[in-house]
Amino acid sequence: MKHAPKHLKGIIKGSYAMMHFKKGWCDHIGNSRVAFSWALLFNVLAVPLSVYVLPSANVPEEALTTVDQLLLKGVMIPLVALVVLALAACHRRHHKFALIYAGITYVGFVIALVLWGVEAVMNLYNHSLYAQDAPMLAYSLLVGAVLWMIMVIAFVFKTALEIGAAMSLLMASVLLFVLIAGQLLLQMTLFG
C-alpha cells in the first residue's frame, strides 16, 4: 500500500501516453500483477458507478433492476478478462495479459469519464446523451468516443503484443464486439 502513489502516478502517465499514441505507456504501467490488480480494482469500482450513473435503457419498462444490472456487469468483468487472455494467447504472448488488460481498462476509464462529464452537463439542460431525442452533437460525440476507443485499444494491442496494425485493429474490434454483443446476449439469456 505504501507504493500506491507511485503506481497511481505510473497509471496516469501511462494513460496520458496511450491517449497520445506514445509507446512508452508500457513502461509506466508495468507488466506485473500490480498492474493487473489496479486495473481489476478500477473495473470492480466502476460497476456500481456505471449502474447508478449511466442509464440502462431509454424506456423505463425495459430497464433492469439495480441488482440485475450489478450482476450483469459483474459477469462481464471475468468474461472480458478471458477474452483479453485468449487474444494475447493467440500470439503466444499470454505473459503480456496483465499489461494489455490494464491498458484497456485505463483507456475505457478515461473515455467513460469524458462521457460521464458530458452526460452531467446535458442533465443540467434536461437532456441525456443516450436518449432518442439527443442533439446531433451528442450522437457525434458517442460515435467519436467509440472510434477513439477502437483506435487506442488497437494501439494497446499493437504495442504490447508487437503485432501489425491490421491484426491489432481486428483484436480491438473483437473485444468491443464481445463487450457490446456479449452484454446484450447475457442480458437476454439471464433476464430475458
Per-residue pLDDT reduced to its tens digit, 30-72: 767 788 888 888 888 888 777 776 555 444 445 677 788 888 8
Is 115 inside a domain boundary? yes
Identify whether 149 is part of a domain.
yes
Per-residue pLDDT, 155 = 92
Q: Identify the residue with better confidence: 7 or 59.
A: 7
Whether 14 is in a domain gets the answer: no
- Residue 138 within any structural domain of the chain: yes
Q: pLDDT above 70 covers what percent of the chain?
A: 88
Q: What is the domain count for the chain?
A: 1
Query: How would you classify residue 18: left for phi > 0, otherwise alpha for psi between -120 and 50, otherwise beta?
Result: alpha
Domain membership of residue 67 (yes or no) is yes
Residue 178: CB atoms within 10 A of its CB come to 19
Q: Cα separation of 108 and 146, whole Å?
A: 10
- Is 63 in contact with 57 (CB distance < 8 Å)? yes
Q: Does pLDDT of 22 surpass 50?
A: yes
Pair 76, 179: CB distance under 8 Å = yes
The answer to the question of residue 23 being in a domain is no
Q: Are 178 and 80 in contact (CB under 8 A)?
A: yes
- pTM for this one? 0.82
Q: Name the least confident of 48-62, 138-152, 171-185.
A: 48-62
Closest by Cα among 129, 151, 150, 125 to 138: 129
User: Which range marks the domain in which residue 78 is found?
Assistant: 32-54+61-191
Residue 15: pLDDT over 50? yes
Q: Domain for residue 113, yes or no?
A: yes
- Residue 10 maps to a domain: no
> What is the reported pLDDT for 53?
62
